[in-house]
Amino acid sequence: MGTCIICGAPCDGLVCELHEEDVVFEFEGSHPNQLTPNYYYRGTVDGYAEFGIFVDIGDSVTGLLHKSELDQRLESIDLEPGDTVYVQVQNVRDNGNVDLGWSIRQDKSRFRGALIHDPSGDEPHRLEDGDEEQAESSKKPTADDVSKTERSSDETTTETADDEPAGDEVSARDEESAEDTESETEQAEKEFESVTIDQLGDAVGQRVRLEGEIESARQTSGPTVFKLRDETGAVECAAFKEAGVRAYPDIGDGDVVRIQGEVERRRNELQVETEALVLLEEEEREAVTDRMQEALLQRARPGEFEPLVEDAAVEAVDEQIQDAATAIRRAVIEGRPVVVRHAATADGYVASSAIERATLPLVREEYGTADSEYHYFDRRPLDGSVYDMDDATKDVTTMLENRDRHGETLPLFVFVAAGGTAESIDGFDLLDTYDARRVVIDERAIEDGVADAVDVLVSPTLEGEFETTATVLGTTVAAQVNTDVRDDLSHLPAISFWEGAPDRYTELAADTGYDGEDTRKLREAVALKAFYQSYEDKRELISDLLFADEAEDPVGLAGHVSEQYRTRMDAEIETAEANVEEFDAGEETILVLDTQAYTHKYEFPSDPLLLEELYRRHREDGVALVGVGEDEAYIRSDADIDVREIAEVASEHAPGAALDVRGAREGRIEFLVGERDEAREAVLDALAGEFSSVATA
C-alpha cells in the first residue's frame, strides 16, 4: 500500500482513483489488454480516417479517437502524423480495439504527475529525475512532500494525544491556524492576475482572473466549456469534473461570474483551463455588468454620421441609422449572429448585400476562424415583404436549435425592404418572446404598431414624404457599420431606382466607374437571380454580380444575365399588352390583366415584377393597373391609395370572397378561388370609387 502522489491518500500504486485524470502515463507494454481503462496516456498521431484519428500508444498498440469525442470538426483539426497528443483509454474491447477519449490537457506540464506504465513491472513508477519526459511539477506536491506532511501530521496528533493543551491554548492555536489559512488564501489570490480577455494572448501559461458574463455552456464528452464574454471579447473556459459530467451545474447563460485559471493555446485558439468559478451577485454583478455595457456601447457606436451624399430622406433619419449600425456592430462584438431578412426583390437583395459587405470583414477580424462569416452572419430572403408567423417560427426553431446544439447566442434580426406592415407584428412578437432584438429598414409607409414591435426602425416616411429606396437606407447603414467598405458601396443606390434615379446617386456611381447603362444591367441581373430559388441567399453569386473586379469589366457577368432578363421580360410584356382590358372608373381608366390566363405561373417574371414593368410602360393609359390571379390581385398605381380600405369596401360587395390584405406594401389582396369573379368586380369597383372620391375632392 502506497500513497497518492497528488493528495497523499492511501492507494495501490502512486495515484488514487480520484486523481487518475491528473496523471499521464508512458506506456511500455506490447498488448492492448495491458492498458488500464480511465488512465491518460501520451500518444502520437498515426493517421486519419473518416470517423476519427488513429493514435499510437507506445510502440505496439494503436487506438481510435472517434470524431464524436472531439469538440470541433475533424477536418479542422491541425495535427500531423507523429504529433504528440494526450488521450484517455475509455475501453479495450474483446477484439483488441481500443476506444480513446480526448484530454483537455494537451501539454505535459498541464498534468500534475508523469508515470511509466510498464506491465512487466509490479506497479507504474515515476519517471527518473532529469528524464526529458518528466512532468514539470515543481509547484505540485510530490510523494516526498506528502510523506513529510503525513509525518508532520502524525507528530501533531501524537502531541495532542499525549499532552492535551488547555482551552485558551486551543483557542490561540485555532486563531493562528485561521490566520495561516487567510494568508494562504491571500497568497493564492495574488497568484492570479486580473486581466481582460483581449490581454490573454500575452498571458499564455499564466494564471489569470477574469470577470464577465456566461454566454453559453456546452457539455462535451470531457470538460464543460463555458464561453465567457467581457467588455473586450470572448473566450472559452474549460472546467473539468470528470468525463462527460457537468462542472458547475448551477452556472448558465447570462450569469455574471469570476473565473480563475491558466491560459493555454489549444489548436491555435486561446482557452482558459478553469480552476475556480464563482457566481457574482448584487453589487459585484452590477459593477461588472455596468462596466461591460459602457465599454460595449463605446466600442459599438460608429463615428460621426456621414451620408454617402446629401440626401434629405437620409438626413431625416440619421439618428435611427446610427442606432441600426450600432446594433449590428454590437451584435458582432457580442458574438451574436446577425440574420438579415429581406424581400426577394432587386432592392431587397442589393440593400441587404450592402450590409453583408460591411459586416463580414468585422466578423473575420473579431473571430478569425475559416467559417466564422457563415457562423455569425446569415442573409435569408423572404417570400414577399411580410414577416409572418411561418417565417418567425422557422427562425425561432433554428435559433433555439443552434443555441442548444452549438452554444450560439440568440441572433440580431435585421429586416430590409420588409416588415413595415401590420402583418409582420405577430412574427416580431414571437422573436421578442425570446429576447431576440429586431431592426427594420424600410422605405415604404410604416403601419401602426410596427414601431412598438421592434427595437430600431429606420424609415423616412415617419418624418415626412420622401422618395427613396431600401438600398439607399441600407447602404447608408452599411457605410456606418464599416467605413472601410464605403467606396465599395457607392454604386449601389443608383442600382435600386427602376426609373428616375436622382442625379446625386448616378453621379456617385459614375465616380466609381458605373454609368447608367451599367447600373441598369446590374439591377436587371439581380432581379432575375432574385426570382430563382428565392429562399436562397446566393451569397457568392450576388457578390460576383454587384462587386466585380473593376480592373476587368465591372458588369461582365451582370451583362450576360441582364440579356436573359430583357429577353424573358419583353416576351411576357408582349403577351400581357395584347390582353390588357380597360375598366371604366368614371373620368379615369383602370387597366386590368388576367394574370391567371395570360402569364406563365412558375416562370420569370413573377406577377408583381411583370405588373410593375407593364405599368411603367402604360401609366399614361390608366391611373392604375390591376393584375388578377387565381386567388390574389395586385394593384399598381402612382396615386396614394389605401389598399386596406379598398379591400374593406370590396368585402361589403363580395362578403363570401374572404378578401384579405396580405401584403399592403406590395398592393396585394387575397381572396377565395371559388369567389374569383365576384372578388375581381368588387375590387375594381372599390378602386374606381377611390379615384372618384379623389377627383371629387
Number of domains the chain is built from: 4
Residue 365 and residue 261 share a domain: no
Residue, of 99 and 69, whose pLDDT is higher: 99
Residue 351 and residue 471 share a domain: yes
Give per-residue pLDDT as tens, 666-691.
899 999 999 999 999 999 999 999 88
Residue 412 and residue 332 share a domain: yes
Find the CATH number of the domain harbouring 615.
Answer: 3.10.310.20
Residue for cell digits 470528470?
Answer: 242
Residue 173 lies inside a defined structural domain of this protein: no
Count of CB atoms situated within 10 Å of the CB of 432: 14
Cell (9 digits) for 366: 473579431
Please provide the average confidence, as pLDDT, over all residues in the chain.
85
Residue, of 168 and 212, whose pLDDT is higher: 212
What integer pLDDT is reported at residue 144 of this predicted model?
38
Query: In 3D, which of 307, 350, 357 has the Cα closest to residue 328?
Result: 357
Average pLDDT over residues 306-320: 96
What integer pLDDT is reported at residue 393 of this predicted model?
97
Percentage, residues of the chain above pLDDT 90:
57
Residue 321 and residue 277 share a domain: no
Give per-residue pLDDT as tens, 44-57.
988 887 778 889 99
Give per-residue pLDDT as tens, 582-623.
999 888 899 999 999 999 988 999 999 999 999 999 999 999
- Per DSSP, the three-state class of 658 is coil
Residue 96 and residue 223 share a domain: no
Task: Give 231-246 as a DSSP string.
Answer: TTEEEEEEE-SBTTB-
Query: In 3D, which of 560, 561, 562, 558 has the Cα closest to residue 545?
Result: 558
Residue 105 and residue 209 share a domain: no
Residue 326 and residue 294 share a domain: no
Among 469, 500, 531, the domain boundary falls at 500
Residue 560 lies inside a defined structural domain of this protein: no
Residue 507 lies inside a defined structural domain of this protein: no
Per-residue pLDDT at 351 exceeds 90 = yes
- Per DSSP, the three-state class of 383 is coil
What integer pLDDT is reported at residue 559 of this predicted model?
92
What integer pLDDT is reported at residue 669 of this predicted model?
95
Find the CATH number of the domain harbouring 477.
Answer: 3.90.1640.30
Dist. CA 625–CA 687, nearest whole Å: 10
What integer pLDDT is reported at residue 170 of this predicted model?
46
What integer pLDDT is reported at residue 576 of this predicted model?
96
Residue 278 and residue 360 share a domain: no
- Per DSSP, the three-state class of 451 is helix
Find the CATH number of the domain harbouring 129.
Answer: 2.40.50.140
Residue 556 lies inside a defined structural domain of this protein: no
Give per-residue pLDDT as tens, 394-438.
999 999 998 887 778 899 999 999 999 999 999 999 999 999 999
Q: What's the pLDDT band for 190 if we cut at 50, 70, 90?
A: low
Per-residue pLDDT at 163 exceeds 70 = no
3-state SS track over 148-160: HHHHHHHHHHHHH
User: Is this prediction's pTM over 0.95?
Assistant: no
Residue 292 and residue 328 share a domain: no
Per-residue pLDDT at 496 exceeds 60 = yes
Q: What's the pLDDT band for 124 if we cut at 50, 70, 90?
A: low
Residue 624 lies inside a defined structural domain of this protein: yes
Cell (9 digits) for 563: 440579356
Residue 266 and residue 334 share a domain: no
Residue 220 and residue 135 share a domain: no
Domain residues for 608? 579-696
Among 473, 500, 527, the domain boundary falls at 500
Average pLDDT over residues 452-468: 93
Dist. CA 217–CA 226, nearest whole Å: 4
Per-residue pLDDT at 656 exceeds 80 = yes
Among 459, 482, 500, the domain boundary falls at 500
Dist. CA 60–CA 87, nearest whole Å: 16
Residue 154 lies inside a defined structural domain of this protein: no
- 40-49 vs 52-57, strand pairing mode: antiparallel
Give per-residue pLDDT as tens, 55-89.
999 877 988 888 878 877 777 788 888 889 999 99
Residue 663 lies inside a defined structural domain of this protein: yes
Residue for cell digits 455552456?
Answer: 217
Residue 619 lies inside a defined structural domain of this protein: yes
Query: In 3D, which of 469, 481, 479 has the Cα closest to residue 441?
Result: 469
Residue 426 and residue 386 share a domain: yes
